[in-house]
């Protein structure tokens, strides 16, 4: 892309929207030298740059996790960012990186990652729950502790940003996650019992998700 240098010029163009996030993602997939520029951009005082870089990095982790795996600790640090959107992006990015986590870096941050289930914001909790399926698929040996964490969502404390209705949304995310890796779950009965309880919900989509899950898996038990 003519006129774009691999330095702060990239961030300036992102700030002015003369370079889209989609264009930048295409560039970084071909020029991994841009990765340090994006990592720097995540700490920018300009929201367009900060969140634009985080989004491109998150998308890159989905398509080419091996390029960002050396930066796993960088994203671990973002789990405690004062900017919630960066935390949400980091939750997703880390889950994507577990596919190439040969050094078991995620294992070392397991409790820190799942501690976010106690976050007072629904989106934070939903992102942890919703990305647990891909983690369990990447790391089958962590299936049991992941199941134990997800089964806790019924007992989460409500907050001004995590209402009883929000908890139903999170339960729906949990069932979708379980659906991704249920065959590898060793103790299936607690999961089935959890899903059956959700059929009593007032949330239509949660009831539908529960019924769909049970139709697929409960009949085979």
* Residue 166 and residue 67 share a domain: no
User: 6 or 52: which carries more pLDDT confidence?
Assistant: 52
Last residue of a domain, one of 74, 108, 142: 108
* Residue 217 and residue 204 share a domain: yes
* Residue 31 and residue 15 share a domain: yes
134-152 residue pLDDT tens? 999 999 999 999 999 999 9
Q: Is residue 197 predicted with pLDDT exceeding 70?
A: yes
* Residue 98 and residue 157 share a domain: no
Which residue carries 């949400």 as its tokens? 88
* Residue 167 and residue 123 share a domain: yes
Query: What's the pTM?
Result: 0.94
User: What residue numbers bound the domain in which 18 lies?
Assistant: 1-108
* Residue 125 and residue 213 share a domain: yes
Q: What is the mean pLDDT of the chain?
A: 95
Cα separation, 159 vs 176, in Å, equals 24
Confidence of residue 7 (pLDDT cuts 50, 70, 90): low
Q: Is residue 6 predicted with pLDDT exceeding 60?
A: no
Last residue of a domain, one of 108, 130, 159: 108
Q: How many domains does the chain have?
A: 2
* Residue 188 and residue 102 share a domain: no
Cα separation, 91 vs 99, in Å, equals 14
Residue 219 is predicted with a pLDDT of 77
97-107 residue pLDDT tens? 999 999 999 99
* Residue 117 and residue 68 share a domain: no
Percent of the chain with pLDDT over 90: 94
* Residue 21 and residue 100 share a domain: yes
Confidence of residue 2 (pLDDT cuts 50, 70, 90): very low
Last residue of a domain, one of 81, 108, 135: 108
CATH number at residue 93: 1.25.10.10
Which residue carries 């941050």 as its tokens? 109
8-59 residue pLDDT tens? 789 999 999 999 999 999 999 999 999 999 999 999 999 999 999 999 999 9
Q: Is residue 220 predicted with pLDDT exceeding 90?
A: no
How many alpha carbons lie under 13 Å from residue 22 in its C-beta half-sphere? 0
* Residue 122 and residue 100 share a domain: no
* Residue 218 and residue 135 share a domain: yes
* Residue 99 and residue 9 share a domain: yes
């Amino acid at each position: 892309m003519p006129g774009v240098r691999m330095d702060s010029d990239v961030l300036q163009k992102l700030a002015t929207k003369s370079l889209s996030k989609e264009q930048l993602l295409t560039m970084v997939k071909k020029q991994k030298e841009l990765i340090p520029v994006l990592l720097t951009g995540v700490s920018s005082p300009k929201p367009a740059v900060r969140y634009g870089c985080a989004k491109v990095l998150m998308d890159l982790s989905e398509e080419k996790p091996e390029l960002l795996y050396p930066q796993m600790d960088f994203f671990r640090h973002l789990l405690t960012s004062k900017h919630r959107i960066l935390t949400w992006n980091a939750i997703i990015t880390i889950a994507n990186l577990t596919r190439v986590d040969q050094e078991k870096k995620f294992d070392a941050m397991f409790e820190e990652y799942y501690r976010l289930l106690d976050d007072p914001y629904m989106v934070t909790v939903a992102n942890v729950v919703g990305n647990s399926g891909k983690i369990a698929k990447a790391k089958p040996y962590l299936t049991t502790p992941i199941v134990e964490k997800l089964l806790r969502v019924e007992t989460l404390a409500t907050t001004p940003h995590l209402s009883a209705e929000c908890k139903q949304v999170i339960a729906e995310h949990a069932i979708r996650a379980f659906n991704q890796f249920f065959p590898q779950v060793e103790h299936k009965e607690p999961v089935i019992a959890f899903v059956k309880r959700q059929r009593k919900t007032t949330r239509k989509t949660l009831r539908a998700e529960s019924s769909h899950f049970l139709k697929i898996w409960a009949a085979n038990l």
